[in-house]
Structure 1
Amino acid sequence: MRSNRKYDSEFKREAVKLVVDEGRTIREVESSLGITHGVLKGWVQKHRDQQDPVKVSQLCVEAELKQLRKENEKLRRERDILKKAVAIFSTDPDRYSDS
């Protein structure tokens, strides 16, 4: 049996807040508030879709910056290794020969 109960926006907002801000599970909140199974998941998804685009963009930029810094450090290490290899192999070969 499906219930067509209507929830006001304040109730929805507070239920979503329990999941998003307090880290409670959707099932836990649904059970404690008497919400039909699966309804809160839709509210949470809608909330996440409507997040401030600037904040979402900022998170993407921060993630990309972190990845680029990591890649930059790797490339610097590789460059330093290659510099050392060039220095070793560009020395006078007669200097190390047994002749």
Structure 2
Amino acid sequence: MAATKKYPDELRQRAVRLYRVGPKARHPAAEQLGVHHEALRNWIRQAEADAGERIDRPTSEMVEENRRLRREVAELRQANEILKAASAYFAAELGPTRRRS
């Protein structure tokens, strides 16, 4: 289960826009919006990555795709373990198969 966000997406977008159009100082912009300056720094960096201006961090789309793929891999591994256990159970239960002549 994902953690709940402390700040709504609307506030994040507004904060990034405010930073981009105003003077490039995070502390005053963060104080004006009532958010921590490090949170604003992370939002700005993520917005830059999403816009293709940064290559040092993945885009939000890539992060979401990775999450989805991790969940899918976990489900497939679980299904594989269930199938292995069922196979072992039936192999032990049925024993060696006998041919009829």
TM-score class, shorter = 0.3 to 0.5
* TM-score of the pair, normalised by structure 1: 0.45
* Structure possessing the higher radius of gyration over alpha carbons: 1
* TM-score of the pair, normalised by structure 2: 0.44
